Amino acid sequence: LTFLDNIKQPALILDERKCRSNIHRMVEKAQKQGLFFRPHFKTHQSKMIGEWFRGEGVTAITVSSVSMARYFAEAGWNDITIAFPLNILEKQEIDDLSKTISLNILVSSAKVLAGFDEIPLGVFIKIDCGYHRAGISVERFDEIEDILAFCRNSSALQFRGFLTHSGNTYQASTPQEVNLIHEHARNHMAGLKVRYLGTFPDLVISTGDTPSCSIAGDFTGISEIRPGNFVFYDLMQAMIGSCNPDDIAVALACPVVETHPDRNEVIIYGGAIHLSKESCLDRKGTPVFGQVVMLSESGWGEPLPDCFVKSLSQEHGVVYLPDRYTDYFKPGSIAGILPVHSCLTAQAMRGYSGLSGQLFDHI
Amino acid sequence: LTFLDNIKQPALILDERKCRSNIHRMVEKAQKQGLFFRPHFKTHQSKMIGEWFRGEGVTAITVSSVSMARYFAEAGWNDITIAFPLNILEKQEIDDLSKTISLNILVSSAKVLAGFDEIPLGVFIKIDCGYHRAGISVERFDEIEDILAFCRNSSALQFRGFLTHSGNTYQASTPQEVNLIHEHARNHMAGLKVRYLGTFPDLVISTGDTPSCSIAGDFTGISEIRPGNFVFYDLMQAMIGSCNPDDIAVALACPVVETHPDRNEVIIYGGAIHLSKESCLDRKGTPVFGQVVMLSESGWGEPLPDCFVKSLSQEHGVVYLPDRYTDYFKPGSIAGILPVHSCLTAQAMRGYSGLSGQLFDHI
């Protein structure tokens, strides 16, 4: 009997070896580059997987919500950055948490800090280097100074440094493009470092996206990295060039429920509520919601060429298979699907099964 | 104090009055058209909302998984169709459930029934009238006959009828297009009825999609409808013309965390893990992940013109607001977001808050 014999419904399979190897590789890279490693735990959201990081010497983490911070604080993590714009409605929860751990928040305006001046928090200023989601534009020194002034006037708030997230690397299609975005952000952040290091000798310059952290080779001026997705990687990262397809550490196991050989399709039990509705374009420009792997007791290998999830509804997935693969997928067999965006798939599934059938938690 | 004062994180707000009115309207339409009403419960997945259907006289339901069937069987529903291709890996679970309630399954091949011939189940044959997801093409009488023969040879399996789902109406952009797809399916299904009614006088002809059930006026030849999404509706349905925007019964309440007046954007705490990554094109062809409403203690009104969610990441949403609305949304205020696809938003949120702050369950 293998883990496959227990699967009756969609299950997110975790290859522990690949996952630990992804963690180890990033830990080594951070060490080699002299970077403080504060991995983002929003991708796995698992206390058990968190322990694999601890085993590699990791002591500080990043999360994306107050509730995620609380969850990992309960698991013994006592140095946490909430890398999401300060939500002032959660003041009480942040206050409570600040009494038990070393907690950093993220702001891009002094105004939101009103009412927080007596809470012992580390403060990162979010800088927008071109992604244009959250943060202060890098040249708006007036806004930066307002926040620094607010922190100076508070006995509890401690300015820690500048933090950016180049999420625009997710739209890159080559490592070269990732490097260009990374270099652009790095230069901007290095400029802030030069400007403020005199006043703040412990100034942290923090960057984060998985593509840059996986691909880039020059981190001069940066002191901390916060990648998260690399723990599992996914098809989007493989297409960008952040990883090899073989590094992807999770696959959704999906029972096959119908075959349509006339149109080279099979229907799987596995839909948008399992994989998420995230898609990406493959090399031919076709929208893809997942790629197909053959599952065995030892896990899975490379994606089967030209086999992909072409559409998703709530519980159904439609998988395209060239003729040579149709015999492998019949009602009752189980297809493995590599997710386009593992953070969203993990969130949808809320739990993992290991290759020995053991279960791993998710918030 | 209103329900709004308790919101600190994204919460899915349910307007009970709108929801009950959507249910009542569809019950009335089914009665007027002489149709058996077997609503799909996959959208709300709530025992409590299920009771509102019971209050309208509903006695039989549709679900999309064995686990959903079990959940509603526990809530006292004893006549359930699992409108998803039979997953033979769940044979034991189906067998168990068949002993406690009247259970119908869906098949499009006789082969999958091997091993099920001693389980007391109603059998629907899934017909593909043009959606090309699951089901037998309407003209493949050989495949239909194989299933009928299998049921005839089983003392436990009872052929119930033909079932179709015109999911292609979700791609329609006008009520006229919906009607064309509905008429096409209805004619096909009526043909099957004519062919088989002599042999099976209790033959059920079952159709289901919310656009057809909301818009179409002619159900001749159809005996049962199974819409689900109508319980909440959503932006996609409003754009198709299945409902008015004012009928949408759920809105995601999202704390505003940043403002960017220079680009007419605010950042909300509310991302792909709350709304789902489903998008649709608005009348101008812009991809939209949600539309903005003003929340008050009595709920919300029409979507604010030209205010929409332009992108989503894991927890962040980026909302575009024309100048005249920017003053209403500041850090600490709460924006209401009408979802593009309420089934996926409900699944992501797994619970509802009523306008009086009461909580409603989700599986």
In order, the DSSP letters of B12-73 are EEE-HHHHHHHHHHHHHHHHHHT-EE--B-TTT--HHHHHHHHHTT---EEESSHHHHHHHH
Cα dist. B99→A95, B79, B90, B112 in Å? Answer: 53, 12, 15, 20
H helices of chain A, in order, are: 16-33, 47-55, 66-74, 91-98, 141-152, 175-196, 210-215, 235-240, 272-275, 342-349
Cβ–Cβ gap A344/B273 under 8 Å: yes
Element (H, E) at B273: helix B272-275
Cβ–Cβ gap A109/B85 under 8 Å: no
pLDDT of res. A168: 87
What residues of A are in contact with residue B272 (Cβ under 8 Å)? 276, 278, 344
Q: What percent of chain B lies above the pLDDT cut of 70?
A: 100
HSE toward the beta carbon, residue B30, CA cutoff 13 A: 24
Cβ–Cβ gap A134/B316 under 8 Å: yes
Residues A207/A222, Cβ–Cβ less than 8 Å: yes
Look up residue A232 and give its two tokens: 């599992």
Residues A302/A260, Cβ–Cβ less than 8 Å: no
Phi, psi of A337 (to 5 degrees): -125, 120
Kindly indicate the confidence band of residue B160, based on its pLDDT and cuts at 50, 70 and 90: very high
How much is the ipTM here? 0.95
* A276-324 tens-digit pLDDT: 999 999 888 899 999 999 999 999 999 999 999 999 999 999 999 999 9
Contact with chain B for residue A42, Cβ under 8 A: yes
pLDDT of res. B362: 96
Angle CA(B209)–CA(B212)–CA(B217) in degrees, nearest 5? Answer: 145
Per-position DSSP letters for A250-315, written without gaps between them? EEEEEEEEEEEGGGTEEEEE--HHHH-S--EE-TTS-EES-EEEEEETTEE-SPPTT-EEEEE-SS
C-alpha of B120 from chain center: 27
Contact with chain B for residue A276, Cβ under 8 A: yes
Spatial separation of the C-alpha atoms in residues B313 and B270, rounded to whole Å: 9
What residues of A are in contact with residue B9 (Cβ under 8 Å)? 65-67, 87, 89-90
Spatial separation of the C-alpha atoms in residues B293 and B304, rounded to whole Å: 6
Among B88, B311, B343, beta carbon nearest to A314:
B343
* A191-237 tens-digit pLDDT: 999 999 999 999 999 998 999 999 999 999 999 999 999 999 999 99
What residues of A are in contact with residue B108 (Cβ under 8 Å)? 258
Among A90, A255, A314, beta carbon nearest to B42:
A314
Give the position of tokens 């993992």: A352
Q: What is the mean pLDDT of residues B91-99?
A: 98
What residues of A are in contact with residue B66 (Cβ under 8 Å)? 9
Cβ–Cβ gap A132/B313 under 8 Å: no
Kindly indicate the confidence band of residue A254, based on its pLDDT and cuts at 50, 70 and 90: very high
pLDDT of res. B296: 95
Neighbours of A333 (CB within 10 A): 18
Chain B: give the shortest CA distance to residue A340, in Å.
12
One-letter amino acid identity for B75? Answer: A
Residue of chain B whose Cα is closest to the Cα of A86: B257
Look up residue A124 and give its two tokens: 């990162």
Contact with chain A for residue B93, Cβ under 8 A: yes
Cβ–Cβ gap A87/B272 under 8 Å: no
What residues of B are in contact with residue A112 (Cβ under 8 Å)? 257, 331-332
Kindly indicate the confidence band of residue B79, based on its pLDDT and cuts at 50, 70 and 90: very high
Cβ–Cβ gap A87/B267 under 8 Å: no
Look up residue B259 and give its two tokens: 């403002």
Please state which of the ranges B15-19, B81-85, B90-94, B179-183 shows the lowest mean pLDDT.
Answer: B179-183
Chain A: give the shortest CA distance to residue B318, in Å.
7
Beta pairing class for B11-14 and B308-312: unpaired
Cβ–Cβ gap B347/A314 under 8 Å: yes
- Which one, of A4, A11, A18, lies nearest residue A246 by Cα? A18
- In this predicted structure, the answer to whether residue A1 has a pLDDT above a threshold of 80 is no
The rounded radius of gyration (Å) of the Cα atoms in chain B is: 22
Look up residue B291 and give its two tokens: 């539309």
Instruction: Give the 3-state secondary structure of residue B100.
Output: coil
Chain B, window 227-256: residues with a beta carbon less than 8 angstroms from a chain A beta carbon = 255
pLDDT of res. A81: 98
Cβ–Cβ gap B258/A134 under 8 Å: yes
Q: Helix, strand, coil % (nearest 5) of chain A?
A: 35, 25, 40
* A82-120 tens-digit pLDDT: 999 999 999 999 999 999 999 999 999 999 999 999 999
Cα dist. B227→B22, B35, B37, B270 in Å? Answer: 11, 12, 9, 28
Chain A, window 72-91: residues with a beta carbon less than 8 angstroms from a chain B beta carbon = 84-90
Among B8, B86, B313, beta carbon nearest to A89:
B8
Among A167, A315, A331, beta carbon nearest to B313:
A167
Chain A, window 167-206: residues with a beta carbon less than 8 angstroms from a chain B beta carbon = 167
Among A133, A255, A277, beta carbon nearest to B276:
A277
- Which one, of B170, B252, B173, lies nearest residue B213 by Cα? B170
What residues of A are in contact with residue B267 (Cβ under 8 Å)? 85, 133-134
Beta pairing class for A265-269 and A316-320: antiparallel
Spatial separation of the C-alpha atoms in residues A196 and A194, rounded to whole Å: 6
What residues of A are in contact with residue B112 (Cβ under 8 Å)? 257, 331-332
Beta pairing class for B299-300 and B295-296: antiparallel
Contact with chain A for residue B348, Cβ under 8 A: yes
Cβ–Cβ gap B9/A90 under 8 Å: yes
What residues of B are in contact with residue A316 (Cβ under 8 Å)? 84-85, 133-134
* A51-76 tens-digit pLDDT: 999 999 999 999 999 999 999 999 99
Spatial separation of the C-alpha atoms in residues A295 and A7, rounded to whole Å: 12
Contact partners, residue B15, CB within 8 Å, separation at least 6:
B249, B250, B251, B299, B300, B355
Contact partners, residue B112, CB within 8 Å, separation at least 6:
A257, A331, A332, B85, B86, B88
pLDDT of res. A167: 84
Helix and strand tally (H, E) in chain B? 11, 22
Neighbours of A2 (CB within 10 A): 13
* A122-147 tens-digit pLDDT: 999 999 998 888 899 988 999 999 99
Cβ–Cβ gap B272/A278 under 8 Å: yes
Cβ–Cβ gap A315/B84 under 8 Å: yes
Chain A: give the shortest CA distance to residue B194, in Å.
27
Kindly indicate the confidence band of residue B228, based on its pLDDT and cuts at 50, 70 and 90: very high
Cα dist. B288→A285, A286, B356 in Å? Answer: 22, 21, 29
Kindly indicate the confidence band of residue B282, based on its pLDDT and cuts at 50, 70 and 90: confident
pLDDT of res. A237: 96
One-letter amino acid identity for B184? Answer: H
pTM of the complete model beyond 0.90: yes
Cβ–Cβ gap A65/B315 under 8 Å: yes
- In this predicted structure, the answer to whether residue B154 has a pLDDT above a threshold of 80 is yes
Instruction: Give the 3-state secondary structure of residue B326.
Output: helix
Cβ–Cβ gap A255/B89 under 8 Å: yes
